[in-house]
Every structure is written in structure tokens, then in C-alpha cells.
Amino acid sequence: MRDWKRKTVVCSTAVVALAVLAAGAAALWPLAMEQWWLWRLDSRDPDACLRAVQELGASRSRRAVPGLVRIAGDGLQRRASSGGGASGWGWGLLRDAGGPLRRDGSLEVEALWALSQVGDAAVPLLIEAFGSWSLESWWGFVAAMSGLGEDARPFVPVLEEVVRRGRSFPQGAALRALLSLEKDVEGRVRLLLSALRQESLASEAATYLRNAGPGARAALPLVTARAKHPEPSVRAGAVGAILRMGARPEEALPVLTEALDDPAREVREQAIEQLGDMGPAASAAAPALERAMRGRAPAEVHLAARALKRIRS
């Protein structure tokens, strides 16, 4: 009887010990695999490194962030230098047109996707990368954000920093990426208001605000001020946006009438078109429009005559 009890105790103890060991192994296994993939990030075998990037992204490994930031920056730089190579990425086309960089199985894009899965933990190191990444890498980064869609949301603070950095950075593409992630109209207007304060983005921001319609009326004072900007394209964008943003006739008429005497033709033509769109509400500007027709190019005179017809109809 005693032997039976002793054997029972021994067996029970063994079962408990095995259960504890199994639980410990189950708990340690993910950590062991994470460490394995972290080692593989430094592999000279591109396929092994790519697999490590994908596995670490899928497991949302925060410990992988430094390595992923390094891989993304180096890869984007190489891709920029090669002009796209056999993949046909077309770096020059991206820089001119802001085309998106989609998940294509390349190491650098997969590294950015993996960083997006980590979330906010990646942001501080990416901000630090402004001191080490090349401008070409940042062009590639912003292009990738356009292709990652909602996966790019954790990178909003980084995109905002790109917008603040100056015209040598892909500010316009970063602004477009931010706008695509911002679904709320008020949020989009806040972004555009901030962009209006930067000379290098003012024209593009005014164009977006024009398309935003009356919902962007809060930005009207800033847009009106941009109608006196030194750059003709910025002035034209502001003049073309005022009416569509919900400006009342008494708010729009002084700005549009003054713009009829602007030295830049593109600004004058925007003013003429906006006055024509106002119809009879712009009748006070009719004398200024008649004066604007004197000595101008035939196309501009025709545009002004058509606007006067609409105003007097």
C-alpha cells in the first residue's frame, strides 16, 4: 500500500514538473524565435533577411525597430541610386509624380510594412533618422506611405515632420499622404491651414482648400492673405480658392477686383473666372473688368468679355 502511494506521489510530481516545463517552454518559445529572427536581420542572404523582416513584422516585435529602420533606410537609398533597376520602380518618375511604392516583396518596403505593424514604437527612431537617412531615402519613405494605405497611420508624426522640414524634402507628397489618412473634414482643413503657412506648400494647400468647398471656410483669412504672396502660383491658387471656400460677395469682391491688375496673367485669369462665376453679385466689379480688357492678350479679353456677359445677364 505504501509503495503504491509512493509511486502515485512520484508520478504526480513528475506530471506537474512536466506541465511546468511545458508551460515554461511555451512561454519562452516566442522569445527564442524572436531572437532567432533578430539574428537573421543581419544575414548576408537577402532571402533569409527578408523572411526575418516579415516574421518580425507579423509578430510586432519592438526589439526589431532599430534593425528595421536601418534596413529600410539603406534599401531605399540603394533603390533610389539604381533608379529602380529591373523592377521598373522609376525613381525619377516617383520624384516628379509622387507615385506610390506598394508592397512588392522588396526588402526595404517589407521593412517599412514591418515598422507599421509595430506602431508608435517606431516613430522616435524614424524621427532620429532625419539625421542619418539621405533625402532619396525620405522620398522613398513618403512614396511607400502612399502605397501602404491604413498601415501608414502609425507614421503620421513622421509624415508631419517631413512636411515641416522644408522644400528639399518631399513635402507635397507627404501632405497628400496625410490628407489620404485624415477622413474628417475638419482634420483635413487643420492640415491645410498649417500647410498654408509654409511658402513651399501654400499653392498646393490653396488648391486642396478650393476643392474642399465651404467646409474650409475657417481657412479663408489665411487664403485671402496669400493673394498677396510674392509667388504668382500661390497668388493664383488663393484667388481661385476664395469663392469656392464660401466667401461672401463683400469678402470676395475686393480681393478679386484687386487681382485684375496683378502683373501675372495666371492670377488675372483666375480673378476673371471667379468674378464671372459670381454672376450679378459681381456687378460692382464690372468697370474694373472693362478696364482689364484694355491692352491684354486676345484670350484674356475673350475671357473677360464672357465674364461680363454672365455678370450682366
- Residue 90 confidence (pLDDT): 37
Q: Which residue has the higher pLDDT, 206 or 95?
A: 206
Q: Is the pLDDT of residue 263 over 80?
A: yes
pLDDT at position 16: 61
pLDDT at residue 13 above 60?
yes
**Strand blocks (E) in the chain:** none
**Chain mean position to CA 234:** 21
Please answer whether residues 178 and 144 qualify as being in contact, where contact means their C-beta atoms are separated by less than 8 angstroms: no
Q: What is the per-residue pLDDT for 86?
A: 30
Mean pLDDT computed over every residue of the chain: 77
Single-letter code of the amino acid located at 57: G
- What is the tens place of the pLDDT at every residue in 66-106? 888 888 888 887 776 765 433 333 334 344 334 455 566 77
Highest mean pLDDT among 30-39, 121-130, 185-194: 121-130
The residue written with cell numbers 482689364 in the block is: 292
Query: Residue 296 burial (CB < 10 Å; 0-12/13-18/19+)?
Result: middle
Q: d(Cα 33, Cα 46) in Å, to the nearest integer?
A: 19
- What span, in angstroms and rounded, lies between the C-alpha atoms of 204 and 97? 14
Q: Which domains does the chain show, CATH number per domain?
A: 33-169 (no CATH), 213-313 (1.25.10.10)
Nearest of 171, 158, 139, 142 to residue 65 by alpha carbon = 158
